[in-house]
Amino acid sequence: MASLKVSGEDWWRGAVIYQVYPRSFQDTDDDGIGDLKGVTRRLTHIASLGVDAIWLSPFFTSPQADMGYDVSDYCDVDPMFGTLSDFDRMLAEAHRLGLKVIIDQVISHTSDRHPWFVDSRSSRTNSKADWYVWADPKPDGTAPNNWLSIFGGPAWEWDGVRKQYYMHNFLGSQPDLNFHTPDVQDAVLDAARFWLDRGVDGFRLDTVNFYFHDRHLRDNPPLVPDPDATSNDAPDVNPYGMQDHRYDKSQPENVAFLRRFRALLDGYEGRMTVGEVGDGARSLKTVAAYTGGGDKLNMCYTFDLLGPDFTATHIRRCVENFQKSVTDGWVCWAFSNHDVTRHVSRFAQSEAERESVARLAITLLSSLRGSICLYQGEELGLPEAELAFEDLRDPYGIRFWPSYKGRDGCRTPMAWEEAAPNAGFTGGKPWLPVPPEHRPLAVDVQAAEADTVLGHYRATLAFRKSQPALRDGAMRFLDSNSDLLAFVREKDGKRLLFVFNLTREPQEFLAPDALKPVELPGYAARLEAGSIRLAGLSAFCGTF
């Protein structure tokens, strides 16, 4: 794959993005919930990592049924997070520190308390009657079709006022907008324009392939399992994963809307979009459609690396599948985010190896071709929190407990100070408990020493930034045994060889001629008698 020149307009290409989950980042008013002033206070920590941008999860006005992913006003800040002035100060400080700011846009659905939905449900003839997906029941009163909600049960909720069902891909209090209605598209683009005018640098588009539904409301067929699939639509305890979601999302009309969204951004300088694509075995095909041609999304991420598999075979298959499917688009890789179990807990086989896994994972992620996204706390090597049922706040976890524990375990508050109340997150009662095992991993503990996971993140990201080939250079894999991941990153005639041993046993790799070791943060080069010797869970870098 050819190398692409990075310009100021393309700052996002190869960028490192740090995701902030505001309600768990830093609380400044002791109500137990993080806020925008807290984000501003901790921006120096984020900047010290050497990242290029932050992505803020939703802070908009919301009843918080789904922790802010149920928006009731797209153009204001929820009081629990502060005010628009707080946002402006945060934005200005981020820009002063050289950080771009990306915000979530949750436009596939709204809260049922959004004024649009209040109007829409009031009658079948009001001005917003077709702004949401309404349908008559079947003659026997049941839902219009077999579509399911990701959060459990049918994707249809009965409304007694209109005497119709409305569609919801998530909670019943999150009705889906009807993007077949031009006024809906205009309204959500106006909301994006509001934030662009305020100075944000880009958008993370939540569930970007969910905007359109099949006009004919055809039933989804059952899923035929694909043994080569690298991601799933839902955990296996959820019947949502039993359907082939052919008609309730990823509809062809979405491409034209994404062109409209891109045209809006192109009216501003240096703005970008990254889309979240959850589409099972079709994810890469969807990414190709949404990022190809240079007139839609700048990049997307999928769930391919957000599962339990941390092996050379899996990672190579994911990257090669992307390279084959998406020839002129761009990807954003991540191992963790606010929706999945923290990756050190997914990948580590014991508590003792969590730190080694945390170090190796960021080294590997930083060497892949694409942009990368980090999730708050992973730079500390935080493991997934084990929470009691009575502590859960995530409706997804509450619905499927105990077979699926939901997303609260990765959303617990940041650990800033080991000895402070609630690890320095809040002076009040935190909205989720602070796990005691996170305290020894707090920022103040790790910042005091160089040889920590935090120190390794800083050194690794500095290494990535120092190597132009890692930002946007070509990437090709080398043959190896299935235990090793070996590839070359190349740009302007400079070649870097990376070899990763993701097993727990020592491995060897035959070195190319004239290979010279390159100092890779945290790993001692071992090149002996023409072979690269790697301990378990280790990495090597060289040039030739």
Report the percent of the chain where pLDDT is more than 70.
99
Q: Active site residue: 276, 379, 408, 472, which one?
A: 276
204 domain residue, yes or no: yes
Distance in angstroms (rounded) separating the CA atoms of residues 362 and 308: 16
* Each residue's pLDDT tens digit, 120-140: 999 999 999 999 999 999 999
Average of per-residue pLDDT across 22-44: 98
* Residue 463: per-residue pLDDT: 98
Let me know whether 154 and 211 are in one domain: no
Cβ density class 410-426: b for 16+ within 10 Å, e for less: bbbbbbbebebebbbbb
In the structure encoding, which two tokens stand for residue 135, read together? 């349908």
Residue 5 confidence class, pLDDT cut points 50, 70, 90: very low
Let me know whether 76 and 148 are in one domain: no
Q: Active site residue: 27, 86, 206, 304, which one?
A: 206
* Residue 525: per-residue pLDDT: 78
437 domain residue, yes or no: yes
* Residue 22: per-residue pLDDT: 98
Report the percent of the chain where pLDDT is more than 90.
93
Closest CA to 22 of 525, 413, 442, 529: 413
State the average pLDDT for the chain: 96
Q: Which of 147, 176, 205 is the last residue of a domain?
A: 176
Let me know whether 148 and 197 are in one domain: no
DSSP 482-503: TTEEEEEEEETTEEEEEEEE-S
Query: If DSSP codes are grouped into helix, strand and coil, which group holds residue 287?
Result: helix
Let me know whether 55 and 165 are in one domain: no
Let me know whether 211 and 326 are in one domain: yes
* Each residue's pLDDT tens digit, 62-75: 999 999 999 999 99
471 domain residue, yes or no: no
Let me know whether 399 and 505 are in one domain: no
Q: Give, in order, the Cα–Cα distances in Å from 91 to each of 27, 107, 529.
A: 18, 22, 54
Q: Give, in order, the Cα–Cα distances in Å from 313 to each of 169, 271, 494, 499, 532.
A: 33, 35, 26, 13, 19
**Under 8 Å CB-to-CB from 450, ≥6 apart: which residues?**
none
Higher pLDDT, 228 or 108: 108
**Residue whose tokens read 């992307």:** 322
> Which is it for strands 272-276 and 299-301: parallel, antiparallel or unpaired?
parallel
Active site residue 276: yes
* Residue 7: per-residue pLDDT: 53
**pLDDT of 6 strictly over 60:** no
Let me know whether 532 and 486 are in one domain: yes
Higher pLDDT, 229 or 60: 60
DSSP state of 330: -
In terms of residue numbers, what domain contains 134? 109-176
**pLDDT of 2 strictly over 50:** no
Let me know whether 195 and 167 are in one domain: no
Active site residue 157: no
32 domain residue, yes or no: yes
Closest CA to 188 of 330, 277, 60: 60
Let me know whether 270 and 281 are in one domain: yes
* Residue 362: per-residue pLDDT: 98
337 domain residue, yes or no: yes
How many domains in the chain?
A: 3
Residue 21 confidence class, pLDDT cut points 50, 70, 90: very high
Let me know whether 277 and 246 are in one domain: yes
Q: Which of 434, 464, 494 is the last residue of a domain?
A: 464
**Domain containing residue 335: CATH number:** 3.20.20.80
